[in-house]
Every structure is written in C-alpha cells, then in structure tokens.
Structure 1
Amino acid sequence: MSETLKQNEKPGKFISTVLFTCSGISNTGKLTDIAAKTLSFRKPGLFRAIPAQKGAESLEDAKKEGERIFVVDGCEEHCAKKKLEVAGLEADMQVVLTQIGIKKTNPSDIKSEYVEQVISALNSAVKSIQK
C-alpha cells in the first residue's frame, strides 16, 4: 500500500477511485477504457474514468481530494503508468490486462466477457486495498 493511500484514509471517510486508462488502439487498450467507463457508470460514486490521452494533469485534483488512482494498462508497455510518472504522480495500484489473462490482439477483439473480467479485477483490487 502506498504512503499516499495511508495518508488519505480516514476512518469512516469514503474514498473514491480514479481509473486512469491507457486507452490504446489494441484490444487491451480499448478494453481499459470500456471497462473503466462501464464501472464508472455502474458505481458513479465509487469510480470515475480518465483516459491517459487527456493527460496526467487531470489527476492533480484527484490527489488533492484524496482519491485513489488506479492505473489500468492494457499491456506491458505501461503507457498510462508512464504518463503518470512523467507528471510526477504515483498510482496507488496498477492493473495490467495481459497479466490478468487477456491476450493483446487486434483492435476489434473486444468481447463482453473481457469487459466483465477487467471489471472483476478492478473490483477485487479495490477490495484488497480496503482491508
């Protein structure tokens, strides 16, 4: 657990999570964005999605507000994480789709079961930090 998260947690205080997605052109990159937006729609008070294409500067307010930042990268290139680091910010957690069993293939290889697999992994990651 990062030092930032420890500092931001207060008993009884609700902490929301920003999902900073790589949003690349491959299927895994697209899945990061689709899954994050879907999760934000399902649980709007708990999650919000920001694509890395918007830039890490959009996360500065999130850190000031005490929100957690989860990087959601599609593959081992870690595009979103790199953008975060260039901005001098640190993620509280990173989920990489190829590490949870989704193969990086062509851009059209997007299936609803993949979206649900990513959502499940993100929900599990949040639960692991809350313990």
Structure 2
Amino acid sequence: MLGTIAIWISACATAPGAGDPHRDLVTHRQGSPDGKEHALRGIASWYGDRFHGRQTASGELYDMEGFTAAHKTLPFHTIVRVIEPESRRSVVVRITDRGPFIQGRIIDLSRAAARDLGMLEAGTVPVILQIEAWGDGSYVSNP
C-alpha cells in the first residue's frame, strides 16, 4: 500500500502543469457573515493615476497611496492580507471598491499596496487572500 501511495504522489508531482506557478490558484472560497462565499485565490492587478481622487463604490475617494483594494464580492471595509506566494511578500488592505472586471482577476490593489508586493512593473501576480476582519468588524481566526 505504501508503494502505491508513493507512486501516486510521484505521479502527481510530475503531472502536466506541475511547474506552472498558477496551477494551485484555483478559486477557493470562504463563507462570510453576509452569507456569501468569496474568491480567495487568483490574479491580482492594481490601479492608480487614472482613478486617483474618484469616488469608489463604497463612497470613499480613491487614494492610490492608501492601502485599499477592490473585490467583486467581499463586504466593504473587510480587511484582507494579500499574499504573493512565490516571494511570500504580503500587504494588508481594506476593501473600498468593486472590481476587477477582467476575467480571472480577483482583486485590484492600490498603487501603494502593489508597490509593497513588488508588482508595479509586472502589473499582475498570483495571490492568496486571507481575511483578517470582516467589514462588520467581526474577526476571523485563521490557521
């Protein structure tokens, strides 16, 4: 039986796409106090100059030097740790806007947050989102 497990694990490690850094970025979801499930893995992008000073979906003005972000479904004011898995850099942002509206992307970061993740030049990076606190102020116990 152990030999079978070892062969299976070995086969999984060499499966097509095993070297692809995006292969594990399937959409994982987490339930929230609002009763919805929210995407927590995918591609992050950032937005800056063009939107600076404009009103966000939450009613706040967008400040590209603040640590904020847009997510399609997370409640406004939810605090999220955004982790870039390859470098293990992370940044904490507050959800103040809706978006991104490009297929495959799960979060749009402010320029300041993107700079801290080291993604300004690349424009997009794979990320994992970890909810720190919901928009209603309730906290999440993360493993």
TM over 0.5: no
Larger strand proportion, structure 1 or 2? 2
> So what's the TM-score if we normalise by structure 1?
0.24
Larger helix proportion, structure 1 or 2? 1
| RCO higher in structure (CA 8 A, sep ≥6) | 1
> So what's the TM-score if we normalise by structure 2?
0.23
